[in-house]
Amino acid sequence: MKLNREMLKPSIRSAGRRWRISTLQTAIYVAAGGGMIGRLYAEQPADAYGDTRVSRRPYKLRDLENMRLVLVAMAEVKGLDPHHLPPMPDFHNYGTF
């Protein structure tokens, strides 16, 4: 099921400040399989797209698209530009991703 971005906004507003953009950015980066495509989904979700050349994504493209829509809606509610979000948190993966 594809989510509707406008219908998500009231839920995000009611959640208040409990969710940070950086938390969802990290989750979507991992869900996209990391790398350049994961960073595109995390830092520029309004421009991100499902690249069909990627063979082994951890999540289905439909699920990744829903995560992207939630991140875009969250950015809009928080007054951020979903085309240029703050840089994703820097973390060392120690080979886990």
What ranges do the domains of the chain cover? 5-77
Task: Write out pLDDT tens, residues 46-65.
Answer: 998 877 766 677 788 888 88
CA-to-CA distance for 29 and 6, rounded, in angstroms?
23
Q: What are the residues whose beta carbons fall under 8 Å from the beta carbon of 57, sequence distance 6 or more? A: 31, 32, 33, 64
The answer to whether residues 27 and 74 touch, using CB atoms and an 8 Å cutoff, is no
Whole-prediction pTM: 0.79
What residue ranges of the chain have pLDDT lower than 70? 1, 15-18, 53-55, 91-97
Mean pLDDT, the chain, rounded, equals 81
Q: What pLDDT shows up at residue 85?
A: 92
How many Cβ atoms from other residues are within 10 Å of residue 47's Cβ? 13
